[in-house]
Homo-oligomer: A and B are copies of this chain.
Amino acid sequence: MRWVTFDDETQMFTVTVMNHKTGEQEANDFDYVIVATGHFSTPNMPYVKGLEEFPGRVMHAHDFRDALEFKDQDLLLVGGSYSAEDIGTQCYKYGAKSVTISYRSQPLGYDWPERMEERPLVERLEGNVAHFADGTTKVFDAVIMCTGYLFHFPFLPDELRLQTHNCLYPENLYKGIFWQPNTKLIYLGMQDQYFTFNMFDAQAWYVRDVILEKIQLPELAEREKDEQAWLETYSKVDSVDAEIDFQAAYIRDLTNVTDYPEFAVEKQGEIFKQWQKDKQVDIMGFREKAYRSTLTNTLAPELPEPWLDILDDSLEHFLNISFAGSKEKNKLKEEKKEVEKNKAVKDKAS
């Protein structure tokens, strides 16, 4: 993808792309352009003074692959959101010597285990020493920037380019999808996310119906009124629970006018809320919780062992886990083993 322009006269987009097979650029005209380049594609890499001279590994969360690489290391995670939480707990589990999460505005505030902690903003690095906003320092072996992603559309001119921070209702999009000044330009998945695939899917169905002219978009004034109403509601959202309700309502707003198969958006929202609570109660154990499907009403099987004890992360191992009887069955198995061991000891003794 190289460049997109819109011709007011023909009302068509010209899209210039590179054909990597021929090595030549191609320009084609289209009625609609759908921007679906992903929410987690372009890392945000803020500069920390001294980062360029840090003697250990420096990477963005985007490049994180294997927690084992940080075994026995003192690890600094810059950024206080999901990436830091996930990578931090994962590295803790696989034997990082310590995990320090540096937050800018507010700590995650979970009940961390002994080798994990949060500190305020890292203001600078001097060699392998980090200096934090509270005046404390600590020596680190590696730094992972858990600093999120950019909205990066280098192929779009100003008048077509979404400019937003990561939030639940980006401005200038009708229904969170259509570029207000030109609704033939369509953005998918630009919202911060509790719901993920279902939300993208609901957006895609709405877009399909617009392109097929089953849904007629209103005029600009009407579209802006709708957007303002949503932004007004959003401005009053002041808690995680309210955020979840807001995104559920947004999805409902989309599915209401298409034939998207009914799914229990609000009930799923309740599960997200429970999940948030479970994380508050036990950040190292919440992954063991089982939730009930809103579609089949089936309760997911529990992990047979504590998450912290499951050290093989491979797909093969996960598929071979015997979820059948969950913890209870596992306990019986352990007891049986114990009995057999005692028997063996007795046999040997006799």
Contacts and interface: CB of A to CB of B under 8 A. Distances in A.
Contacts of A55: 66
Interface string A35-63: 00000000000000000000111000000
A65 interface: yes
A286 to B, nearest CB: 27
Contacts of A113: none
Classify chain A: how many residues form its interface, as a range: 10 to 19
A161 to B, nearest CB: 8
Contacts of A158: 24-25
Contact of A23 (B3, B23, B65, B163): B163
A285 interface: no
Interface in A151-169: 154, 157-158, 163
A18 interface: yes
Nearest to A27: B157
Given A23-B163, A163-B23, A154 B2 contact: yes
Contact of A56 (B24, B57, B66): B66
A24 B163 CA distance: 10
A96 to B, nearest CB: 16
Interface in A68-84: 69
A1 to B, nearest CB: 9
A182 to B, nearest CB: 17
A24 B2 CA distance: 17
Nearest to A19: B158
A87 to B, nearest CB: 16
Nearest to A315: B53
A125 to B, nearest CB: 15
Contacts of A154: 2, 18
Contacts of A16: 157
A294 B314 CA distance: 59
A37 to B, nearest CB: 15
Contacts of A23: 163
Interface string A1-35: 01100000000000010100001110000000000
Nearest to A313: B55
A2 B4 CA distance: 11
Contacts of A66: 55-57
A327 to B, nearest CB: 29
Contacts of A57: 65-66, 69
Contacts of A18: 154
Nearest to A127: B314
Contacts of A163: 23
Contact of A157 (B25, B65, B157): B25
Interface string A104-134: 0000000000000000000000000000000
A168 B25 CA distance: 26
7 contacts: A3-B3, A23-B163, A24-B158, A25-B157, A55-B66, A56-B66, A57-B69
Q: Which 7 A-B pairs have the closest CB atoms?
A: A25-B158, A24-B158, A3-B3, A23-B163, A25-B157, A2-B154, A57-B69
Given A2-B154, A25-B158, A55-B66, 8 more contacts: A2-B3, A16-B157, A18-B154, A24-B158, A56-B66, A57-B65, A57-B66, A57-B69
